[in-house]
Amino acid sequence: MAFFKKKILSVTSLSGLLLLTNSCGKEKTPYEKVLGSKPNIIFILADDLGYGDLGCYGQQIIKTPNIDKLAAEGQRFTQHYAGATVSAPSRNCLMTGQHNGHATIKSMEKPIKAEDITVAELLKKAGYSTAVIGKWGLGDIGTTGYANDQGFDYSFGYYDQIRAHNYYTDYLMENGEKYPLKNKVIYIDDSTHYANGIGNAAVEKVDYSNDIFTEKALDYIDKKGKDPFYLYMAYTIPHANNESWLIKQHGMEVPDLGIYADKEWPDVKKAGAAMISRLDSYVGQIMQKLKEKGLDNKTIIIFSSDNGPHAEGGWKPDFFNSNGGLRGFKRDLYEGGIRIPFIVRWPGKIRPGVSDHVSAFWDFMPTACELAGVTPPKTCDGISYLPVLMNQESKQGMHEYLYWEFYTDISRQAVRKDDWKAVKIGQGDPVIIHIELYDLSKDREEKNDLSDKYPELVKELSAIMNQYPRTK
């Protein structure tokens, strides 16, 4: 599949294109097909859900009937990528339409900047009411990244990434105020370097946070009137509670094991599967609420995950083939760490099917802008995938390349251009750098490193990586 230099058309230029199209009697453009509709937009984001964790992506054991139905009634993308291989930078890309090289958050958690433009701000200007429910993770209250200062009319859930590890936390946040829960928790000592002691685990478990997220979402939809709304539904399932060691338990926290209780598996596997099926039930409840309200045909639902599957809290992705046979998982820049499930459903508008269009989180902003009739900012790196959704692939713009980075004690960068993927890894003192090259059209598992065979291509992709020097 060829990639072409991206072109972002403004609403004004698109309007001129419509006049030309109509005068020639040709097929309506993708933009014209949605012009003036301003659908409700619900983006449901899972946390650490792997490419292979859903039935519609090949999962054979864990049951996800509602999400599978969502896929059957919409477009299921097979080559969609997260913004990054861990949560905060990935969500930064989703919200600001910028890839890893330009976004504020690179690897470590910190707030996005006041001047960062979010998709919520743009949709709000277009007349949308906006809400984020679940895990925000791009800035706590009192920082420049606070959700209500970044375009959201309503916010509920975890503002902080680390607090979000605990499904039975002692409080959540609602529009900047504490929302107390009945759980009792213990915290890591304040002296630790780990997020200043906010990591915690529950010694008494009563209120399950993701159940409450769903209740809040259903209530939000129930109260909606004629004005369009944008609901960013950011669940924390199936992320592990990485502080579960405080209570000597595994990190896959769930109220019950559901249909997996009698399976002859380790408890952590039962719990992990139950978490994913519980997430599936939430999706089903949201879909049912839209139908009850008569909003089904007026709402576009997007379902995805923020990165690949984790190996934390006692969970191992190979037990259920969570990465779908791809190499690597969370914190890797191999396909298993960044290629994710991506489903888009809009009854009456989107023809059901499967798309191999290559796209990424930063493409959501321009897509949402086209749906709302507003222009994305010049800082946006994304390209709207609306033509694919409208079954007009011949009109679909393509990226020149996709870029990711992730820095810890090991530095990682990756570039995908056409079907070629380069992964750059640096570690040690002095730093030893190795660049691997893969042809994803023939080797999506990234088993066959072709860097020695194509040195000029390695040089070309390295030059792209070098445009984005390491920053904290």
State residue 468's pLDDT score: 94
State residue 102's pLDDT score: 97
State residue 37's pLDDT score: 85
State residue 429's pLDDT score: 77
User: What DSSP string runs through 322-348?
Assistant: TTTT-S--TT--SHHHHEEEEEEE-TT
Contact 303, 94 (CB under 8 A): no
In tens, the pLDDT along 365-403 reads 999 999 999 999 999 999 999 999 999 999 999 999 999
State residue 16's pLDDT score: 40
Q: Which of 74, 49, 90, 16 is nearest to 310 (CA)?
A: 49
Spell out the alpha helix ranges (H) of 192-254: 209-222
State residue 181's pLDDT score: 98
Q: How sure is the predictor about 107, in pLDDT bands with cuts at 50, 70 and 90?
A: confident
CATH number of 11-164+210-240+279-402: 3.40.720.10
Q: How sure is the predictor about 261, in pLDDT bands with cuts at 50, 70 and 90?
A: very high
Q: ∠ CA 167-169-170 to the nearest 5 degrees?
A: 160
State residue 17's pLDDT score: 39
User: What's the token pair of residue 165?
Assistant: 């590890």
Residue 242 has pLDDT above 80, yes or no: yes
Instruction: Tell me phi and psi for residue 434, to 5 degrees.
Output: -130, 135
d(CA 253, CA 274): 9
Residue 1 has pLDDT above 50, yes or no: no
Per-residue pLDDT averaged across 344-363, rounded?
A: 96
In tens, the pLDDT along 117-130 reads 999 999 999 999 99
User: What's the token pair of residue 5?
Assistant: 């230099």
State residue 9's pLDDT score: 39
Residue 421 has pLDDT above 70, yes or no: yes
Give CA torsion, residues 70, 74, 75, 81, to 10 deg.
Answer: -40
Per-residue pLDDT averaged across 448-457, rounded?
A: 98
Residue 472 has pLDDT above 90, yes or no: no
State residue 471's pLDDT score: 67
Spell out the alpha helix ranges (H) of 104-156: 119-125
In tens, the pLDDT along 21-52 reads 443 456 788 878 887 789 999 999 999 999 99
Q: How sure is the predictor about 193, in pLDDT bands with cuts at 50, 70 and 90?
A: very low
State residue 459's pLDDT score: 97
Contact 162, 198 (CB under 8 A): yes
Sign of the four-CA dihedral 436, 439, 440, 442: negative
For the chain, the average pLDDT equals 92
d(CA 96, CA 116): 7
Assign domain 409-465 one CATH number from 3.40.50.300, 3.30.1120.10, 3.40.190.10, 3.90.79.10.
3.30.1120.10
Per-residue pLDDT averaged across 272-288, rounded?
A: 98
Domain ranges of the chain: 11-164+210-240+279-402, 409-465
Q: How sure is the predictor about 196, in pLDDT bands with cuts at 50, 70 and 90?
A: low
